[in-house]
Structure 1
Amino acid sequence: MEGIARVVEKRETRGLILIAAALLAMITLTAVAPWTGKPLAVAGLTPMADATDVDLGAAIMVTFTEDVDPATIGPNSLQLSEMGIPVKASVSYDTWTNSAVLTTKMPLKSGARYTATLAAGPRDKAGNTLETSQSWSFTTRRDFEHGFGGPVLIIHSSDLPFSKYLSEILRAEGIGSFESADISSVTAKLLDRFDLILIGEVPLDDAQATLFSRWVEAGGDLIAMRPDKKLASLLGLQDKGESLTEGYLLIDTVSAPGRGITGQTIQYHGSADLYTLNEGTTEIARLYSNVSNATPNPAISIRNVGDAGGQAAAFTYDLARSVIYTRQGNPAWAGDERDGNSVIRPNDLFFGAKEGDEQPDWNDFNRIAIPVADEQQRLLVNLMNFMLEGKAPLPRLWYFPKGHKAVLVMASDDHGTRSGTEDSFERLKAVEPEGCSLADWECFRATSWIYTSSGLSAEEARTYASEGFDIGVHVNTGCSNSPPMDFARMFSHDLYAFRMRYPDLPAQTGSRTHCLAWSDWASTPKAEARYGVRIDLSYYYWPGPWIKGRPGFKTGSGLPMRYADVDGSMINVYQVASHLVNESGMSFPSAIDTQLDRALGPEGYFGAFGTHYDFSDGFDLQLTAAAVARGVPLVSAQQLLDWTEGRNNSHFAHIELSQEALTFDAFTDRRTGTMLRGMIPAEISGKDILTISRDGLPVNFEKTIIKGIAYAMFPVETGVYRVSFPTDDQRVELTE
């Protein structure tokens, strides 16, 4: 009876909590959108007019200035069409956000332009009717797996989305000159168009294995991720019939392609198949069963095949899956509160020492200083360059503007302070270079995610936005663990409330949820994508007793890359970790100095480092001082998003190598301005580069060594490039 009483008491308490929450929501909604007595009008459109890169599952909404009578919203109130053809959809009214919402029967098409039309007729509670119709258009994103064409082909399976993530890895590494094809469509004629193919972890039949073998024997270069056992002979491997899960690898850094990559053992996630090397096969990296115990089995290998110059390389584990799991955590721990704090957060996906279920931390904190996911991606690129020697090399794009190796993403969470956001913005303006160029990332800018109770006025917010600062709502779940559907509604409502308070600000594109509430694996970025948020900083380096004062890479990465769902499907939101957090318990400013110096120094641990401050201390001043001392840009999340999207939409094409020169075309996105930098191997066909020209005019370049490879780095603008070789063995001194 006592137990039953406790259950009843809990249910009654929960009921009271739910009633209180409902009353609070009603009060909040009333406060957000009281009737103004003005004519009914449209307050906002989602997606915005002429928006591009819109997610295929995006919300299509019209938000009104007043609460509308739901009876006046019908199936014809909001319609969608593509090229004049109606799209099947249903229409509903959301009282939380005063919005008419259109839900399509099928996902939107990629790369399509849609037109939405709001009909006249909606009426508010006071009887005011919207008298005029309104139409607007937007364009959806391209398919993630496709590049812009070129000498590289990624082979994936639509049934195994992890295999498609290789395209995101290449984009992050500045390579857009690739195409992608499903394994079911691969033919000999298709393969003959490419110099190098990457095969994701996909099963092959005998005919497909034979097809790839013949292509390599004819001179093609192949890299396979956790290859089908039918390729073992081609790869020069002897199958042991066993696998090693959650192990380590040690890269041979003495010679190419491992030269320049970390020489410490680093983790991979997932399973690696165990092989031994056949005669003539070279080991690039060795599998380790733990951080210090080597196995006799290769992690990565390469073999010359036939007399035509073909090569076959293998990652015995799936790099794509490993990168996703390193960045996002252990999917088996999704929704599991592990660190003893009441809220489920992203760090619970990495925290091993749960009471009653103690396991190793997901990412080894003894290697936390190393961006282990990024290092393995860079090894892949080194391997690709190594295999393409003697063929047309791959031009690449550098990670950040103007060759910068580190960037600080200044991001504050304003929990309703009177002037915290304003004061921090003014501090940045006070120390930025006089006459700085905002477009060239010379001015110091930041993001502030704020409560609608913030002291920042709508006029002040509009002024700061016009100066290039980024302001959005700090979505507040009340530090509760909310089911995905509830979180999506809260997210939508907070965006709406913010829009009502600050109607003149641009659409919000970034977020970091209050208390970092993260109820499962990927519901948060999926909700963000639906409402147009494209960059997220919720993966937060915290709490202090776990970190133990060690600056580094909890997610194994310093690069903005898209989230993935549990099946590996890409989500159109970039993950940027909050690496430098004022409440992490690290020693500041020394931890800031260490993070930046590892990026700028010989380690080459480059990154866009997310930050967190909340005006409770002088952390933003410490970040600014460290960056200024090193010439590191201070930017907002919006600036990083614009840059990343612009860089990913820029590419090289028509890459051709002759006896005299390498030629290619460059296509640049306007969002990169004049800041884009390209990279080509400094030695091509055994000859040093002599000159680079664009459209017949000389282009200055600098030779530098990046991760063991000598590159020529040059400014990139749209045009036709020609890279010439010297007539003698002239060498240009390399600079690190």
Structure 2
Amino acid sequence: MKPSKTVIPVAAQPILVLTDSNSSNVFNSYITEILDTEGILCYQTVDLNLYNVNLTYLDNFDIVILTDTASLSADLITTLASYVNNGGNIIGLSPDIQLAYVFGLTSSGTTTSEQYLKVDTTTTIGKGVTGESMQFHGEAENYSLTGALAIAFIYSDANTKTTKPAITLYQYGSGHSVGFTYDLAKSTVLFHQGQYKYRSNGDNDDPDKDEIYRLNDHFYNYLDSTRVNIPQADEQQDILVNAINYLANFNKPLPRLWYYPDKAMTITWITGDGDDATKEQIQMYADKTKEYGGYFTLFEGAGNVFDDDLDNKLLLDGHSTAKHPNLGCRKPPLKGAEAEITRQIQAFINDYGHQPLTDREHCLNWVGWTEHAKYLSANGVRINSNATSFIGNSGDKAYLNASGLPMKYMNENGDIVDLYQQSTTFYEKNDSTIVDESLNNYHSVLTYSFHPVYASTRLSWIETAVSYSQSKGIPMVSGDTWANFVDARRDMQFQNIQITGTGNTISFDIQQGSLPIDNATIMMPNKWGSQSAELIQEDGVTKKHSTSTIDGVNYTLFNVSLNTGQTKSYTVKYNKFK
């Protein structure tokens, strides 16, 4: 039995996310992981299986995001339609087809699965997104347009356009709707984690028959190799962010937390697997990275002569060290893997006196679908970099998991696993085209994998990578620095967002949780109607700011630093264009 409406969470944020734990799509709640990753930290969630919502409650919110729910009641359909008709804004992720008229669509009653979409980059919501067709995973409802503007159409293959919309924009009454005819949340999970049927403990294990269990197995015949250089999942998340910015502008612009510190547009993470390397070889790679202003991460592996003295020296120089777990390099059984991962990571902690925050497995071994992630998380690891496109049928490309962003796993029951997946972009090489695309368009973490044991013949390869990053002004972070920033970023929340002054100022608070953060970049849309951001203040003191166009949106950017548990107040004043 559902609780009384009186116990529904108090409306405290401008965005309401309606999830449904009764939905057959267990991935529908992954939308919150997407919002957290994109720095949209001004939302709250209500589970429709637990609470009833009414029009009075919905009217408190500027935007409602409706996930892929079970069939909605007639009363809730009417309530949602009335909310939009009265001036509310809704984003539907594979919404109930009973709401088709609110999105300016008519359902055919059929679906399409595992195809492509292509964005119209001339539209406000599509601006800044790639103009190439992209895959989507899962099912899409087949609609026809009955008033809506298509932001993207479904393609039956990479080149063949259909008349079926994938993403739409519509004005319904005094409000607006943006519809995704597929579930962005489910598609993103599958982009990152691949096919459940190819997990190592399933009946279709090792589909590429290389006799090695890897995360790559999950993507067998799933990833279009002609699209591996596009972070397709990230690009589709950008469409969601653009939709939120567009809809928010009808009420008030909303703050956003950027991915990286100090206004960086991309970062590089230089790593090395220590297998069989000498101390001298490891030191050469670390020194070469630091020579160009960067920091190195060593994954300590079997057969090398790593010791406490070298560990201390690397840490004192600002580098990071972590474990390179070895499960045998072939087909490790799921049973016993947890104990072995635990044994090796705890041995590292006992030997060197610190917690490894990142890892990459020897031979990229991966067991289960998300069980491996659970085992790493239980041992304090925060980021895993096993998703690598240079192994298997995906070819020597960049984005195996269609992403360059750290995002958490979700298991087959719809539960978040507290470990970030960070793809490895390059293996023993640098590709300046991919680096430039990330810097200018995709804004990915560019992760490099090297092997110091090959220092005699390949040291110049790491020099090529780090010198190019330096020449482009790209920060080269250590694994510990990056993991701590990612966690601290997730520990931030925007509060009390409101219009103040004479109606041209947005005020809000930023509250930091248990982890301090330095030089986090806050973004505000530079334009609000006919006004532009002019004055930024932090606790009443004017702050320096800059502007930059990112993913088609012109933002005002400024940095903030907060201690553990600290709250600071901000105002952004908008004035008429000059």
The alignment's TM-score, normalised by the length of structure 2, stands at 0.90
Cα distance in 2, alignment partners of residues 668 and 496 from structure 1: 30
Once the two structures are TM-superposed, the CA of residue 299 in structure 1 deviates from its matched residue by 0.6
> In structure 1, what residue type is equivalent to 2:376?
E
- The aligned residue for residue 216 of structure 2 is 347
The reply to whether residue 654 of structure 1 matches residue 496 of structure 2 is: yes
- The aligned residue for residue 629 of structure 1 is 471
Give the secondary-structure state (helix, strand or coil) at the position aligned to 1:623: helix
Cα 1:716/1:148, change in 2 over 3 Å: farther
- The answer as to whether partners of 1:370 and 1:553 remain within 8 angstroms in 2 is yes
- The answer as to whether partners of 1:148 and 1:177 remain within 8 angstroms in 2 is no
1:594 to 433, 440, 443: 433
- The aligned residue for residue 14 of structure 2 is 151
- The aligned residue for residue 315 of structure 1 is 180
Give the secondary-structure state (helix, strand or coil) at the position aligned to 2:259: coil
Give the secondary-structure state (helix, strand or coil) at the position aligned to 2:295: coil
Consecutive aligned runs of 4 or more in structure 1 exceeding 6 Å deviation: none
Once the two structures are TM-superposed, the CA of residue 452 in structure 1 deviates from its matched residue by 6.0
Cα 1:234/1:723, change in 2 over 3 Å: same
1:242 to 107, 110, 114: 110
Once the two structures are TM-superposed, the CA of residue 580 in structure 1 deviates from its matched residue by 0.7
Cα deviations across residues 199-255 of structure 1 (Å, max 9, x unaligned)?
111112222222211222222111111111221222221110111110111111112
- The answer as to whether partners of 1:147 and 1:179 remain within 8 angstroms in 2 is no
- The aligned residue for residue 210 of structure 1 is 78
Once the two structures are TM-superposed, the CA of residue 333 in structure 1 deviates from its matched residue by 2.3
- The aligned residue for residue 194 of structure 1 is 61
The reply to whether residue 393 of structure 1 matches residue 253 of structure 2 is: yes
Cα distance in 1, alignment partners of residues 125 and 20 from structure 2: 28
- The answer as to whether partners of 1:416 and 1:450 remain within 8 angstroms in 2 is no
Once the two structures are TM-superposed, the CA of residue 613 in structure 1 deviates from its matched residue by 0.9
Once the two structures are TM-superposed, the CA of residue 410 in structure 1 deviates from its matched residue by 1.5
- The aligned residue for residue 21 of structure 1 is none
Give the secondary-structure state (helix, strand or coil) at the position aligned to 2:556: strand
Give the secondary-structure state (helix, strand or coil) at the position aligned to 1:578: coil
- The aligned residue for residue 450 of structure 1 is 300
Cα 1:674/1:211, change in 2 over 3 Å: same
Once the two structures are TM-superposed, the CA of residue 364 in structure 1 deviates from its matched residue by 1.3
The reply to whether residue 614 of structure 1 matches residue 451 of structure 2 is: yes
Once the two structures are TM-superposed, the CA of residue 486 in structure 1 deviates from its matched residue by 1.2
Cα distance in 1, alignment partners of residues 10 and 311 from structure 2: 38
Give the secondary-structure state (helix, strand or coil) at the position aligned to 1:691: strand
Aligned residues: 548
Give the secondary-structure state (helix, strand or coil) at the position aligned to 2:412: coil
> In structure 1, what residue type is equivalent to 2:242?
N
Cα distance in 2, alignment partners of residues 320 and 283 from structure 1: 20
> In structure 1, what residue type is equivalent to 2:404?
G
Cα deviations across residues 509-533 of structure 1 (Å, max 9, x unaligned)?
2211111111331111011112111
Cα distance in 1, alignment partners of residues 145 and 470 from structure 2: 50
The alignment's TM-score, normalised by the length of structure 1, stands at 0.71
- The answer as to whether partners of 1:422 and 1:456 remain within 8 angstroms in 2 is no
Give the secondary-structure state (helix, strand or coil) at the position aligned to 2:425: strand
- The answer as to whether partners of 1:172 and 1:560 remain within 8 angstroms in 2 is yes
Cα deviations across residues 676-732 of structure 1 (Å, max 9, x unaligned)?
111111111321222112222211221221111111111224522222222x431xx
- The aligned residue for residue 290 of structure 2 is 429
The reply to whether residue 570 of structure 1 matches residue 570 of structure 2 is: no
- The aligned residue for residue 722 of structure 1 is 571
Specify every segment of 5 or more residues in structure 2 that has no aligned partner in the other structure, as ranges. Answer: 1-8, 562-566
Cα distance in 2, alignment partners of residues 147 and 257 from structure 1: 30
Question: Pairwise CA RMSD of aligned residues?
Answer: 2.1
- The aligned residue for residue 664 of structure 1 is 508
Cα deviations across residues 622-650 of structure 1 (Å, max 9, x unaligned)?
22112111111111222111111111212
- The aligned residue for residue 365 of structure 2 is 517
The reply to whether residue 164 of structure 1 matches residue 14 of structure 2 is: no
- The answer as to whether partners of 1:560 and 1:575 remain within 8 angstroms in 2 is yes
Higher RCO, 1 or 2 (CA under 8 Å, sep at least 6)? 2
The reply to whether residue 489 of structure 1 matches residue 342 of structure 2 is: no
- The aligned residue for residue 136 of structure 1 is none
Give the secondary-structure state (helix, strand or coil) at the position aligned to 1:303: strand
- % identical equivalent positions: 27
- The aligned residue for residue 220 of structure 1 is 88
- The answer as to whether partners of 1:446 and 1:636 remain within 8 angstroms in 2 is yes
Cα distance in 1, alignment partners of residues 291 and 249 from structure 2: 50
Give the secondary-structure state (helix, strand or coil) at the position aligned to 2:216: helix
- The answer as to whether partners of 2:18 and 2:46 remain within 8 angstroms in 1 is yes
Cα distance in 2, alignment partners of residues 348 and 148 from structure 1: 44
Give the secondary-structure state (helix, strand or coil) at the position aligned to 1:311: strand
Once the two structures are TM-superposed, the CA of residue 480 in structure 1 deviates from its matched residue by 2.8
- The answer as to whether partners of 2:469 and 2:476 remain within 8 angstroms in 1 is yes
Give the secondary-structure state (helix, strand or coil) at the position aligned to 1:180: strand
- The aligned residue for residue 330 of structure 2 is 480
> In structure 2, what residue type is equivalent to 1:595?
I
Give the secondary-structure state (helix, strand or coil) at the position aligned to 2:522: strand
Specify every segment of 5 or more residues in structure 1 that has no aligned partner in the other structure, as ranges. Answer: 1-145, 353-361, 433-443, 583-587, 731-736
- The answer as to whether partners of 1:662 and 1:723 remain within 8 angstroms in 2 is yes
Cα 1:430/1:702, change in 2 over 3 Å: closer
> In structure 1, what residue type is equivalent to 2:82?
R
Moved more, 630-639 or 238-247: 630-639
1:378 to 221, 238, 250: 238
- The answer as to whether partners of 1:240 and 1:275 remain within 8 angstroms in 2 is yes
Cα 1:690/1:495, change in 2 over 3 Å: closer
Please say which structure displays the higher CA radius of gyration.
Answer: 1
Give the secondary-structure state (helix, strand or coil) at the position aligned to 2:125: coil
- The answer as to whether partners of 1:148 and 1:178 remain within 8 angstroms in 2 is no
Cα distance in 2, alignment partners of residues 453 and 372 from structure 1: 38
Once the two structures are TM-superposed, the CA of residue 463 in structure 1 deviates from its matched residue by 3.5
1:501 to 351, 369, 387: 351
